[in-house]
Structure 1
Amino acid sequence: MTGDVAGNAAGNAAGNAAGNVAGNAAGNAAGHRAAVAGVAAGHPATARVGLSVLAAGGSAADAAVAAVLASCVAESVFTGITGGGFATYYDAATGEVTVLDFCCAIPGLDADVTGTSMMPIDVMFGTVPVEYSIGGASVAVPGVPAGCGEVHRRWGRLPWHEVVAPAIDLARDGVALPVQQARTLANLAQALAYGAGSAIYVRDGRLLAGGDLLFHPGLDEALTILASEGPSTFYTGHVADLMVRAAREDGGSLGPRDLAGYRVLPSPVGHAGLHGHRVFARRDDLGEIVATIDGLPDDLAALGPADRTVTLARALAGYGPQTIGNTTNVTVVDARANACVVTTTLGIGSGVWLPGLGVHLNSMLGEGELITPGLAPGAHMVSNMCPLVVLDADGHLTLAAGSAGASRIRSALVQTLVNVLLDGDDPDTAVGRPRLHPVGPVVHVEPGHSEEQLSALASAGFQVSGWADRDHYFGGVTAVGESGAAGDPRRGGAGVTL
């Protein structure tokens, strides 16, 4: 069945072994739970959908899947149903941490068509230019439908159609575009408002602004098909046929064998210690988040603000190229202390849409830095995405978090973890604090850092690039912890508790 995990039993045994937490089941049986039940997401509507599913008796997985599908409606400047992603699930009863890889895959199993050249565009994040490419040749094999199906199959409690239903309702009515996401739209208009996208993101001759209604005609029908036929329709059914036709008519190589052969995969789980806690996440992300945390000095908590800022800048420097692919994240903790964190991306969108269904195809092949040597047709692409959970010394859930932001994901998550675990911040405070992000010798800095911190960075040899405003460039963290849930204000996010 499409979306099943290849080598299911053996793969999961190996992947979960790294995520086992000794003694956790006994602790949870005694009723100990640190993190509150709640949902954090990149849009208030996304968070509300997740919370409604929790309130209806759904599990963390049910709520996360419902919220991910809602994000494909409310956060289409960041993600979409034809994108890909990763899910990290914490099972409070067993103490297992599992990571599922449903990232987009390389097409090419159908040898009858070779993709043409892509259309290059330049995207500006503040003053930072990043090259990208769009068009049918940028379309990779999607993973979101299969990933959502697999998360629900493993850990869901509610019927599939009930989990999809809230996103259908959202798609019928449309949602308000947050001011922060309107800024993202302006940056990515070359891809999002290209071709059929202009009818969605342009109104009365101008791009949608903050507060305008974002509406995708036909997306409710696509989600209704998903609800009734299941994820397989995107791989061997009606929607699959439409995707192949649309991508190939625009010069892409996506084919029927590519879609039919797609599988969700287990991803190795790594962990690192931080201030008496253990952080669990996928082990092979491009940002090497687990390795970065593991390399932080033991005395980090004792350092003053200036020294800590320099230490973090050095720890975060030097990990891979600057990438831009837009992403979003959903974080859910249920009343049983299970956590499900899901990060998804569409790239920035290929400019290719499914006629009549309001579905934008991904542009993952257009992010050249993600096409690493040795990736053969059918292989999953690499990624910076890294949803994670944090457990205390007794194995109880303290924090669940993930971030959007491509190559800034590592910086955003590490700084948020430091704010929570070392400084005792609640999630809202931790997510909102000013961030920095190094790119080579330059460290980009949000307003709010002191003169002492900026001087220390300069003295340490960094070129300091100060930003005038808090910006979505610096990531989009969503987190649920002991004292609440928080969405990132940089992207119009929201956190709600049960």
Structure 2
Amino acid sequence: MQRIIKGKSYYASLASILLASSVFLSCVGNHLGKNNSGEFRNGMVVSANALASEVGIEILKKGGNAVDAAVAVQFALAVVYPNAGNIGGGGFMVYRSAKGETNTLDFREKASAAALRDMYLDASGNPIVEKSLYGQLAAGVPGSVAGMEEAHQKYGKLKWEDLIEPAIHLARDGFKLTARQANELNGLKTRFTKLNPLGTALIKDVKWVEGDVLIQTELANTLKLIAQEGRKGFYEGPVADFIVAEMQRGGGIITKQDLTAYKAIWRKPINGKYRGYDVVTMPPPSSGGIALIQLLKSVESYPLTRWGFNSDSTVQVMIEAERRVYADRAAHLGDPDFYPVPAQKLIEDSYIKQRMSSFNWQTASTSASVSAGEIAPTEHEETTHFSIVDRDGNAVAITTTLNGSYGAGVVVKGAGFLLNNEMDDFSVKPGAPNMYGLVGGEANAIAPGKRMLSSMTPAILSKDGELFMVVGTPGGSTIITSVFQTILNVVDFNMSMQSAVSAKKFHHQWLPDEVAVEDKALDSLTTVKLKSKGYKLVPRGAIGRVDAILKTKWGYYQGGADPRGDDKAVGW
């Protein structure tokens, strides 16, 4: 406790200091290790919020490694980015050491032991959408705290409590809202009021405005317990009592036994190659890793560089690859602890070649004609991603989520954090779409203790034994295609990291049979050519919020922070 009090003056002023970020970053620019191109030698953090990115950099400067910084950033995001940063959700971590060791950590949420296969269906067997999206019953057992402790115990260097200290102060002393955050909170006031009759710090009598200070005292107290007791401070004791009481208030089913039984799991990474680059990414229950490798292999034989970025030929082959990969996702992917996922078969070269063999340049395939491949006999878009590299070259890619923006909309009274609505990521009814329009089958059906399928795709690329890229994004079903396009933008189209992240994107996911296109992603001629072949192009808003780091051939770190949000890349 003495350490926390001693650090108060520093961390209490952190938020106000960072509001003058342009001044701060001009100072950072004079540090040894930065070249004239805005690239950094000693480390980098790219996250959805400038405050969280600065917290991570401070940990690196104090001698912490990438995992230490990741823990600090995760808890800081739980305070300053409440729509997706969390301690009430879960996620995945991809790790690569400076020596090339790789590992992946699954801290995805789980269904309660009381979960039932048909728990969100009405008497006629039809999905009751509201039940899996909002309120206490929509929540899975959270995994973030257990995941961060597991990562720290295996790879961390600094003291656990020191890593959570910045988040405690940001919650207790408050931070200033961005214009985007103020608008979000105002827009959700009715929902928050309905779902939180006992009140929450996220509700204000008058409208929130940019610059308002959000103080979260209950969350600060929860973070103190986690700092002092580790996972026990969350999954046991007062916080567990608050969670169970919240369940009882709103018809939820998570119990103390569910909480104490939760474990984060180290899993064997999914590995693949693309044009000489080694790709390491998440295995199931992430669908993203397998899908990403499938997509890369599906387009590798085509001359994308010659065709050019977002040309009609480039876009067409990418759409057809996406159509087939998302069909496979629906049929074959789920929690490997409950379902025999044919992971290696799905990424075999011969299988992928066979899947692309039905592709016809003259006309669009129809999703009705593209079923999942024969292997063997029998996510709203508010996730968040951050990428970190330390001075030694250790790298971490972490994607975490509450599922929908601000999760289930329920703040645990007394504990101050939002519950996730991850139960909607299960196939509530095989063949019925979830909130992202994703369709699933038996592999992702609800079962007690099961982890729901995810599209999260944290990934790390290397070449010839050297780190090359750390990448990931939020975006629900668009996560996989956004990471895919960002990699192609760098490898095939020779973009800088920031340009690759900022580039306009498109997305196809098998069903519905349409291509979502960001404004100005495709020029008029490309649009005409694709439509003439039968592709249905549908305009939509921003796709993804990629946060990525590229290591240049000169050994500098180059950040890409997505301009679609308040994201920030900070290096030193």
TM-score range, shorter chain: 0.7 to 0.9
Aligned-pair CA distance for 1:35: 8.2
Aligned mates of 1:191, 1:121 — CA distance in 2 = 16
Alignment correspondent of 2:281 = 281
Q: Specify whether residues 241 and 293 from structure 1 end up closer, same or farther in structure 2 by C-alpha distance, changes over 3 A only.
A: same
The code of the aligned residue for 2:322 comes to L
The one of 498, 514, 532 equivalent to 1:459 is 532
Instruction: Verify the 8 A CA contact 1:274 1:421 in the aligned structure 2.
Output: no
Please state whether the residue corresponding to 2:455 is helix, strand or coil. Answer: coil
**Is the 8 Å Cα contact of residues 135 and 351 (structure 1) preserved in structure 2?**
yes
Quick check: 2:427–2:444 contact (8 Å CA) kept in 1?
A: no
Q: 1:145-190: per-residue Cα shift (whole Å, max 9, x none)?
A: 0000011111110000011111111112323333444565567666
What do the CA deviations read for 1:234-267 (whole angstroms, capped 9, x no partner)? Answer: 2233211221121122101111211111111122
Do the aligned partners of 1:49 and 1:166 also contact (CA within 8 Å) in 2? yes
CA distance, structure 2, for counterparts of residue 155 and residue 333 of structure 1? 14
Who is 2:81 aligned against? 75
From the superposition, tell whether residues 384 and 209 of structure 1 become closer, same or farther in structure 2 (CA, over 3 Å): farther
Equivalence for 2:558:
484
Amino acid at match of 2:50: P
Matches within 5 A, 1:386-405: 386-392=457-463, 394-405=464-475
> 1:405-460 CA deviation, whole Å, 9 max, x = no partner?
11110111011111112222222111111011124322111123321232233233
Query: Partner of 2:486 in structure 1?
Result: 416
Query: How far off is 1:378 after superposition?
Result: 1.9
Q: 8 Å contact 1:47–1:494 — kept in the other structure?
A: yes
Which residue of 325, 344, 358 corresponds with 2:416?
A: 358
Shift of 1:199: 4.3
Distance 1:56 1:236 in 2: 31
For 1:422, give the aligned amino acid: D
TM-score (norm 2): 0.72
Q: Determine the structure 2 residue equivalent to 1:103.
A: 108
Gaps (5+ residues) in structure 2? 1-39, 331-378, 430-442, 552-556
TM-score (norm 1): 0.83
> Which structure has the highest strand share of the two?
1
Give the equivalent residue in structure 1 for 2:57: 51
Identity of aligned residues (%): 29
Q: Could you say what secondary structure the match of 2:45 adopts?
A: strand
Q: For residues 179 and 39 of structure 1, do their structure 2 counterparts lie closer, same or farther at Cα, with a shift above 3 Å needed?
A: same
- Match of 1:105, as an amino acid? K
1:347 match: secondary structure? coil
Q: Is the 8 A contact 1:235 1:260 kept in 2?
A: yes
Q: Is the 8 A contact 1:36 1:480 kept in 2?
A: no
CA drift at 1:374: 5.2
Asked if 1 retains the 8 angstrom alpha-carbon contact of 2:120 and 2:132, the reply is no
Change (3 A) 1:98 1:231: same
- Taking a change above 3 Å as real, the CA distance of residues 375 and 266 of structure 1, as seen in their structure-2 partners, is farther
Distance 1:260 1:212, change over 3 A: same
Query: Which runs of 5 or more residues in structure 1 are unaligned?
Result: 1-33, 123-130
Equivalent residue for 1:441? Answer: 513
State whether residues 79 and 347 of structure 1, in contact with CA within 8 Å, keep that contact through their aligned partners in structure 2: no
1:38 to 41, 44, 51: 44
- Give runs of aligned pairs for residues 314-329 of structure 1, distance below 5 A: 314-317=320-323, 319=326, 323-324=379-380, 326-329=382-385
Q: Deviations over 1:349-395 (max 9, x none)?
A: 22332223321222211445478545532222221112110001x11
Which of 292, 299, 306 is equivalent to 1:296? Answer: 299
Equivalences for 1:372-387 in 2 at 5 Å? 373=444, 375-387=446-458
Q: How many residues align?
A: 448
CA distance in 2, matches of 1:389, 1:464: 31
Matches for 1:73-222 after TM superposition, within 5 Å: 73-93=79-99, 95-108=100-113, 133-181=133-181, 191-192=191-192, 194-196=194-196, 199-206=200-207, 208-222=208-222
| CA–CA separation in structure 2 for the residues paired with 1:116 and 1:492 | 35
* Cα distance change on mapping 1:194 and 1:271 into 2, 3 Å: farther
Q: In the aligned structure 2, how far is the partner of 1:237 from the partner of 1:409?
A: 36
